[in-house]
Amino acid sequence: MAGNSAGETPGAPAQKPKAPLPKSRALVNEQTAGVYARAWEAHERGEPVGWSTAIFPQELCETFDVPVLYPENNAAAISARHMGEPFIQHAEGEMKYPINICSYARLNMGMADKMRKAESIQTQGIDPAMAPPAFLCLANNSCTQLMKWYENLSRNLNIPVFFVDCLFNYSEEEPAAHKIAYVRGQIENCIRQMEEFFGKKFDWDRFLEVQRISQTNRVLFNEIVALNARKPAPMNGFDLFNYMAPLVICRGKESTTVILTELKKETEAHIAAGTSTFRGEEKHRVHWEGIACWPNLGHNLKTLGGYGVNAVMNGYVTAWDVAYEPGDLDGMARAYQVSSTNSLTTPGIMKKRIASIDRFGCDGMLCHVNRSCKLMTFHIMVGREMIEEEAKVPVANFDGDQSDTRVFSEAQFETRLQGLVEIMSGNRNKNGNKEARHA
Amino acid sequence: MLTMGLDIGSTACKSIILRDGEQILARSVVPLGTGTVGPRKAFGEALDLAGVARSEIDRILLTGYGRFSFDDADGQMSEVSCHARGIYFLLPSVRTVVDIGGQDVKALRLSEKGALENFVMNDKCAAGTGRFLGVMAGVMNVKTEDLGALSEGATEEVSISNTCTVFAESEVISRLSAGVRLADLTAGIHASVAKRVASLVFRGGVVRDVALSGGVALNRGVVRALARELKIDVLVHPDCQMAGAIGAALFARQQL
């Protein structure tokens, strides 16, 4: 093996230097590091740090200027770096949680328990390491299991939860007026409770500004995603998994505007130059369904690339498209109930996926049957028939998990992907190439 | 024009040589899977039986779990496509192919022209696979290939409630301890496999005709149990075990 150590093999080829990160990616890394550093600094000063579910109304804590970390985002990052197993084992062993519950929850509750027992996460080489929380923010708009996860955190750590209970929209396309009023009332109540907890008044002018920044950022992200409808796509669709981080952890910050503006510029430059971050020829375009298989992201990416498959779009990254008019609290209450498609009916979700498959010119759909996220996964068991019938593209499923490494099988993934590729190739020969609508 | 298909499975290797994509010149089955001498043996046996040298084969295509691990070939394709193609060659009326492999179960949907339209496969679990049968045969101290004949003597079916291979193995051991007849127990094992496979087939949709592919199709007990679960006749061709290899050889011919 080639290397730079004193013991390297004589005459071995030098390691290929890694390509420098695009500026936008470097900015994402810098932003993330800054968010964690700020939280630790606040913790060390004895100031409150929050842990929040991924689609909680972030505008509140942003307005209060209180640091917040996101366990789901943290679990994804730690899993992608293969550091999650000790926490999952701790949750299943010492804490007695079953394998059936969400692996993000197991990972995070294991980590929180180790923190509670004064085991320093920072000194264990865990990156990024979360500062311990003093309060929790919970919205159940993407998953109801979050409620038990956060309830357990709250009980075990003896800290309060600011809870926004969102109602699912199983029988209607749009949330009914009473649902909007219910969520608005809870947001207003959270503001009152937070004023008391943080010991400061809520600045409604700053809130309006945060809302404006949040809307600028979500619109920018949508514009970038839309650029990938180009054929060939200017981006490897898996890049979206990385660039959604600023929307999750800093949606109301101007630093995200800077990142997304840079990313948009880079993506447009790729279009102008006829280049792409997808390496090699884009032979097939697929729509990815489900959360990323974080521990196996590298393998997924390499295997997809090997078959010339670009997962140009996925239904997961749209969950932070929380669209409302700044100043319209009802609109905000509505938006937090519909941005995650998990809150919709199976036909409602599939209608969105079918439109997206058409818009992005996808030849097929690859679905991550995620052992952890049953809510998202179970839709696809029935939904795939709707996709096949309406969108007229083949669908293949593969088993995996967002954090638990025991579920995924490399050989099974490749066989299913190859089967899908062979069907897509056959369809292409039969029907000719499907043209994508240019953004 | 000679082409070879080599199906390197997890438990057995199958090779076939076709002339002009129509006539089977040689076939070989070696009950050893990938990572053993099985692939090389199946490869050599087919050449010997056909009386041809490697250099006379115009194209060799690999398929199966070990399709990336054999270097003396010209390409590879997934077993999904190869089983579909192979069964269509053997049984052109078939629209639904069920392949019970060593560690995978597949339900394949074919178009009227034999093109693979869609497929569903098992999750990461050995229930309903050939490996499940192999483990149960081991516990009962009988050969896997003898399970079909053994189950024909059943007078009743011993229920196996666990689908998990490990727990089902324990259940079979406890049934043996209770003194049940081997034939009845084997029939119960076949029913367990059939139930698991049928649920997968229903998920993909059942379109007539239905055929069983792969080595497990030679087990008449499984075929009967599956037909009962699906409430439909299940076709089996004598060369069912060769279907993947035949498909690979046909794709090799197409690529020339």
pLDDT tens, position by position, A288-318: 999 999 999 999 999 999 999 999 999 888 8
Measured between alpha carbons, how far apart are the two ends of chain B, in Å? 9
* Closest Cα in chain B, distance from residue A313 (Å): 21
Q: Which band of pLDDT confidence, cut at 50, 70 and 90, is reported for residue A341?
A: confident
CATH number of B1-91+239-256: 3.30.420.40
- Whether residues B118 and A426 touch (CB distance < 8 A) is answered with no
Comparing CA positions, the residue from A173, A174, A148 lying closest to residue A161 is: A148
Whole-number Å distance between alpha carbons of B244 and B29: 12
Comparing CA positions, the residue from A77, A64, A72 lying closest to residue A28 is: A77
Whole-number Å distance between alpha carbons of A399 and A379: 15
CATH number of A23-203: 3.40.50.11890
Output DSSP code: residue A388: I
Q: What is the pLDDT of residues B67-86, one digit of tens each?
A: 998 999 999 999 999 999 99
pLDDT on residue B17? 97
pLDDT on residue A122? 63
pLDDT on residue A432? 59
In this predicted structure, the answer to whether residue B186 has a pLDDT above a threshold of 90 is yes
User: Which positions in chain B touch A407 (Cβ < 8 Å)?
Assistant: 124
- Give me the CATH topology for the region B93-236: Nucleotidyltransferase; domain 5 (3.30.420)
Work out the angle at residue A295's Cα, subtended by the Cα atoms of residues A240 and A161, and round it to the nearest 5 degrees: 75
Q: Which band of pLDDT confidence, cut at 50, 70 and 90, is reported for residue A14?
A: low
How many inter-chain contacts (A to B, CB under 8 Å) are there? Answer: 47
Q: Which band of pLDDT confidence, cut at 50, 70 and 90, is reported for residue A172?
A: confident
Whole-Å CA distances, B13 to A129, A237, A317, B31, B250: 49, 38, 43, 6, 17
Least confident of A8-12, A254-258, B111-115: A8-12
B17 DSSP β-pair partners:
B4, B26
pLDDT on residue B36? 93
A394 touches chain B (CB under 8 A): yes
- Whether residues A397 and B120 touch (CB distance < 8 A) is answered with yes
What integer best gives the mean pLDDT of chain A? 91
Q: What are the strands, taking DSSP E only, across chain B?
A: 2-8, 13-19, 23-30, 59-63, 75-76, 96-100, 105-110, 116-121, 210-213, 234-235
Using CB atoms within 10 Å of the CB of residue B192, give its burial: 0 to 12 exposed, 13 to 18 middle, 19+ buried. buried
A77 Cβ partners below 8 Å, 6+ apart? A32, A127, A128
Full strand arrangement of the beta sheet holding B2-8: B23-30, B13-19, B2-8, B59-63, B75-76
Of A399, A409, A419, the CB nearest to B78: A419
User: Which positions in chain B touch A415 (Cβ < 8 Å)?
Assistant: 65, 78-80, 104, 121
Mean pLDDT of the A5-19 span = 52
Q: Which band of pLDDT confidence, cut at 50, 70 and 90, is reported for residue A436?
A: very low
Mean pLDDT of the A259-271 span = 98
Domain extents in chain A: 23-203
pLDDT on residue B129? 86
User: Which positions in chain A touch B121 (Cβ < 8 Å)?
Assistant: 397, 412, 415-416
Full strand arrangement of the beta sheet holding A161-164: A68-69, A50-52, A135-139, A161-164
- Whether residues A412 and B104 touch (CB distance < 8 A) is answered with yes
Q: Which of residues 97-126 of B touch A (CB under 8 A)?
A: 104, 115-121, 123-124
- Whether residues A430 and B120 touch (CB distance < 8 A) is answered with no
pLDDT on residue A9? 38
Of B78, B116, B203, the CB nearest to A415: B78
Q: Which band of pLDDT confidence, cut at 50, 70 and 90, is reported for residue A438?
A: very low
Mean pLDDT of the B184-212 span = 92
Q: What are the strands, taking DSSP E only, across B31-102?
A: 59-63, 75-76, 96-100
- Which of B159 and A193 is assigned the larger pLDDT? A193
Domain extents in chain B: 1-91+239-256, 93-236
pLDDT on residue A437? 41
Whole-number Å distance between alpha carbons of A427 and A433: 9
Q: What is the pLDDT of residues A367-421, one digit of tens each?
A: 999 999 988 888 888 899 999 999 999 999 999 999 999 889 898 899 999 999 9
Other CB atoms within 10 A of residue B159 CB: 10
Mean pLDDT of the B249-256 span = 95
Mean pLDDT of the A29-36 span = 97
- In contact, A228 and A360? CB cutoff 8 Å: yes
In this predicted structure, the answer to whether residue A323 has a pLDDT above a threshold of 70 is yes
- Whether residues A426 and B116 touch (CB distance < 8 A) is answered with yes
pLDDT on residue B83? 95
In this predicted structure, the answer to whether residue A235 has a pLDDT above a threshold of 50 is yes
* Closest Cα in chain B, distance from residue A230 (Å): 27
B106 DSSP β-pair partners:
B99, B121
User: Which positions in chain B touch A401 (Cβ < 8 Å)?
Assistant: none
- Whether residues A415 and B116 touch (CB distance < 8 A) is answered with no
In this predicted structure, the answer to whether residue A13 has a pLDDT above a threshold of 80 is no
User: What pTM, to 2 d.p., does this model score?
Assistant: 0.86
Other CB atoms within 10 A of residue A76 CB: 26
pLDDT on residue A10? 42
